[in-house]
Amino acid sequence: MSITNHTSERKLLGVAGLAWLFDAMDVGMLSFIIAALKTEWDLNEVQMGWIGSVSSIGMAVGALIFGMMADRIGRKNVLILTLLLFSVGGGLSALTTGISIFLVLRFFVGMGLGGELPVASTLVSESVSADKRGRIVVLLESFWAGGWIVAALISYFIIPQYGWRIALIIGALPAFYAIYLRWNIHDSSKFIAKTKENKPSLWQNIAEVWSQKYVRRTVMLWVLWFCVVFSYYGMFLWLPSVVVLKGFSLVRSFQYVLIMTLAQLPGYFTAAWLIEKWGRKSVLVVYLLGTAVFAYFFGTATTLPLLLTSGILLSFFNLGAWGALYAYSPEQYPTVIRGTGTGMAAAFGRIGGIFGPLLVGYLIVRHISITSIFTIFCVSIIIGVIAVLVLGKETKNKELA
């Protein structure tokens, strides 16, 4: 490979990755902000669950709309639009004084987040050679861990001292970065080549995703996305609050979750290394099974050593699986429907993200144990594993159509 190509790949990874980091920073801070808002606005568990779920409703809408738009107006333009939407929405939500307006703004923030993630992974997938495409996309996902670590640091040092509003304003700064993005990335050559042909309509793209040729992989992706997103948002948006419910203080909770969050980085890096050696399916299955096991142990944990150990390993395996999921998804479809197919799968997954946090809130109100709640997420992950094993095809080293 030429030095120029290598440099452009690294530049694209950096530019798209920083956008990913800002998104993760917002989602990560939200889990801490929910815990802080419970005290300030005297919220019950159901209202806390809705804060997480309305973001996922927005993410479902955003993934669907912006995924289809990416096949029409280009990956780059959608990347900029979604970044601006979530940054401006996040900044405005810092000014709210009640839960109603806060929920409306969280919906728009969610739209930006939900649209940006599958489009960024699609752009990077199309721009990298087949032999290292999986590794680069998992490394792109690793910026998510960086964003969570920044979120945990801001939440630990800023929220107790200066309040959640300052944390949200810091999270809104990426709006300025979107302007920089405009001039520094390009759509993939695959997409540009396709734009010179007659573009199919949105409905033709949707029909093609569900055509006989792609229906098996579409069903697999939709089940996988739903199970992974349902369990992730159910567990991780409630993580600081669950630690408090297990008897630790809010500040201690932030500290422990920061330690657990640091384990996301080795989770990504090991998955990135293994994905070109074992293949997508094997990495997904192993890391998802690890997630299921340690979700169960985290739910049952009553002592600090077990809580921290299971939380660290839960983060490690779950975020490694996420990296493999984002590498695997765009590889299921040809360029002309790649944004639509990946966006639709992500959108369906976000429906799981709506129910996950809500379910936790409703079950806690009804005095269902944390052990039982986390067992539900354990079962969900295993269903995702079965979908990959039965319906999934290996895509390692295969050229994108």
CA angle 174, 164, 312 (to 5 degrees): 80
pLDDT in tens, 326-378: 889 988 998 888 888 988 998 899 888 888 888 888 898 898 988 999 999 99
In which residue ranges of the chain is pLDDT below 70? 1-7, 178-179, 181-182, 194-198, 250-251, 397-401
Q: Quick one: pLDDT at residue 273?
A: 87
Question: In whole angstroms, what separates CA 38 from the centre of its chain?
Answer: 24
From the number of C-beta atoms within 10 Å of its C-beta (0-12, 13-18, 19+), residue 132 rates as: middle
Rounded Cα distance, 169 and 163, in Å: 11
Q: Quick one: pLDDT at residue 2?
A: 41
Q: Quick one: pLDDT at residue 7?
A: 57
Rounded Cα distance, 174 and 290, in Å: 34
Domain ranges, ordered by start, for the chain: 12-182+202-391
Rounded Cα distance, 118 and 317, in Å: 21
Q: Is the CB of residue 95 less than 8 Å from the CB of residue 107?
A: no
Does the predicted TM-score (pTM) go above 0.75?
Answer: yes
Neighbours of 368 (CB within 10 A): 14
Q: Is the CB of residue 281 less than 8 Å from the CB of residue 330?
A: no
SS3 280: helix
Residue 244's alpha-carbon distances to 53, 256, 373, in angstroms, are 20, 10, 16
Q: Quick one: pLDDT at residue 399?
A: 65
| Residues found in the chain | 401
Q: Which pair of structure tokens corresponds to residue 19?
A: 């956008």
User: Which CATH entry fits the domain spanning 12-182+202-391: 2.40.10.10, 3.40.50.800, 3.40.50.1820, 1.20.1250.20?
Assistant: 1.20.1250.20
Q: Quick one: pLDDT at residue 155?
A: 82
AA identity, residue 218 = T
Rounded Cα distance, 338 and 124, in Å: 12
Q: Where are the alpha helices (DSSP H) in 94-173?
A: 99-127, 133-157, 159-162, 164-171
Q: Quick one: pLDDT at residue 62?
A: 92
Rounded Cα distance, 394 and 328, in Å: 9
Q: Is the CB of residue 383 less than 8 Å from the CB of residue 289?
A: no
